Chains A and B, each alone.
Chain A
Amino acid sequence: MTEGKPVSKVLVLDDSPAHVEAIKRFCDDHNLIGLKVRRNRLLNVLRSNIDLGAILLAEDYGGSVEESAIVATQIDALRPELPIILRRSSEPSSDGLPDALARAACATYVADDMTPLRRMIDEYIFSLDYPNALVRGIAEITEARLDALFPGMTVRCETPCIVRDQIIFGEVFSLIALESAWCRGYMLLQTSEQSMLNLIGEMEPDGAPPDFRELNGMLGELTNLVWGAFKNRYLGDAEALARHPVQVPLIVNHKQKTISFGGEYPQLCFKYWVTNPESGKSVCVDQRFVFSLSWSPADFTESEQDVGTMVESGELELF
């Protein structure tokens, strides 16, 4: 694994121990985390928040190519946004595959030559190059604001990952547009209502129990703080931005627990765990960045202020 670079989770559906071992080595070398699941739990797992980047499916998974085709069709129906990369026994192309399998799989490779798999991972998972400074900066900004809003709690950030699925995490989320000259998109902050209410309540044990309005206020302010700091550090030329006023509608389906940004875009995902060290209770805040409107990392800039004029946040600067 490359330290500091986002990883991605791939679901490995392969009955061959030898091939699974080869895939495990491949994952270790390419910033992937391989996950396995029993066949009878597959669909339930795919409906849950496991933040997948892709599926690695064997041509003979389940014992035959016909069985593998059934699985691929089910996955494609449930999670069409997840790329299915198919391992074949000998033929590197999709020639000779049952129609259902050929339609569901976005790419194929053979175990003897994993080079095409590397290309597919880059094309279907790591299709956007996120500058290391951006990834580090986002975690730094957000951890500091979580610290400020939840004094006395410990904050931990998991390794960032690239996600393709569109499942909403938790029950409450905020959504705010990110606008700069070199990227345009959205930031989501998602959390579980009850866990967050429990933590807010523990912060003020002598007060009245908090309700969802306080939670909304807290999440709104966290969003505002992170968004403001992101804007200040990474905002580009405001005039360039004015030339691109395009917006697209965002679709949230509460019944299916999905959100769409107008297409199938990868999401840069961060998970933060805020824990009360006294009770041990935690809440997870899931943060996603979807640069669906514009992305040019070659123009990435980070603003640096002169040391002489820098005023610390929280300090009063008198004019």
Chain B
Amino acid sequence: MAKILVVDDSSTVRDEVAGFLRNHGLDVATANDGKDGLAKLKATPGVRLVISDVNMPNMDGLTMVEKIRGELGNASVNVVMLTTESSPAMKERGKAAGVKGWIVKPFKGDAVIEAFKKLAG
């Protein structure tokens, strides 16, 4: 059962991040946007860590996190944003929604893998 959910509208990013995590022995599922992310999270109760982009069509990443906490009532899943956004206002919104961490792209797997393993339990 997948423990990590990677949410990004870019197939290039999904393949890169999910591939890297799988090479480190982690179980990973992916989603195309915020709406898909919510649906996949509902369908995969074992997920412990969500890694998500912010700017996505259909539903952006921060709205997805707010709905994870609100509509899904899931306060325990750890969420890390992986995004081009770095504005303080965006990060504050993330913090308020219960986001655990923030990474500004590009993704550098070696710098974050140990932290990801901890967050995924």
Contacts and interface: CB of A to CB of B under 8 A. Distances in A.
Contact of B111 (A225, A228, A315, A319): A315
Contacts of A221: 10, 12-13
A149 B106 contact: yes
Given A314-B104, A316-B115, A319-B95, 18 more contacts: A145-B106, A224-B55, A228-B55, A228-B84, A228-B86, A232-B86, A311-B102, A313-B105, A313-B106, A314-B103, A314-B107, A316-B80, A316-B101, A316-B102, A318-B101, A319-B94, A319-B99, A319-B101
Contact of A314 (B85, B87, B111, B115): B111
Interface residues of B, number: 29
Interface string B69-103: 00000000000100111110101001100011111
A235 B55 CA distance: 16
A231 B106 contact: no
Interface string A222-258: 0011011101100100100000000000000000000
A227 B53 CA distance: 14
Given A228-B85, A232-B85, A319 B12 contact: no
Contacts of B102: 311, 316-317, 319
Contacts of A264: none
Interface string A107-129: 00000000000000000000000
B104 A311 contact: yes
B11 interface: yes
Contact of A217 (B12, B106, B111): B12
Q: Which 3 A-B pairs have the closest CB atoms?
A: A228-B84, A314-B108, A148-B106
B1 interface: no
Contacts of A28: none
Interface in A187-232: 213-214, 217-218, 220-221, 224-225, 227-229, 231-232
B43 interface: no
Interface string A286-319: 0000000000000000000000000101111111
A238 B85 CA distance: 14
Contacts of A238: 89
B100 A319 contact: yes
A315 B106 CA distance: 9
Given A229-B84, A232-B86, A315 B10 contact: no
A155 to B, nearest CB: 14
Interface of A: 145, 148-149, 213-214, 217-218, 220-221, 224-225, 227-229, 231-232, 235, 238, 311, 313-319
Nearest to B114: A316
Interface of B: 10-13, 15, 55, 80, 83-87, 89, 91, 94-95, 99-108, 111-112, 115
Secondary structure at the B interface, as helix, strand, loop or mixed, is mixed
Contacts of A214: 11-12
Contacts of B55: 224, 228
A311 B83 CA distance: 13
B85 to A, nearest CB: 6
Nearest to A235: B87
Given A232-B84, A316-B112, A319-B94, A217 B10 contact: yes
A317 B84 contact: no
Contacts of B103: 313-317
Contact of B10 (A145, A220, A227): A220
Contacts of B11: 213-214, 217
B42 to A, nearest CB: 25
B112 A220 contact: no
Nearest to B89: A238
A75 to B, nearest CB: 42
A144 B109 CA distance: 17
A317 B12 contact: no
A9 to B, nearest CB: 33
A227 B80 CA distance: 21
Given A213-B11, A315-B111, A316-B115, A224 B84 contact: yes
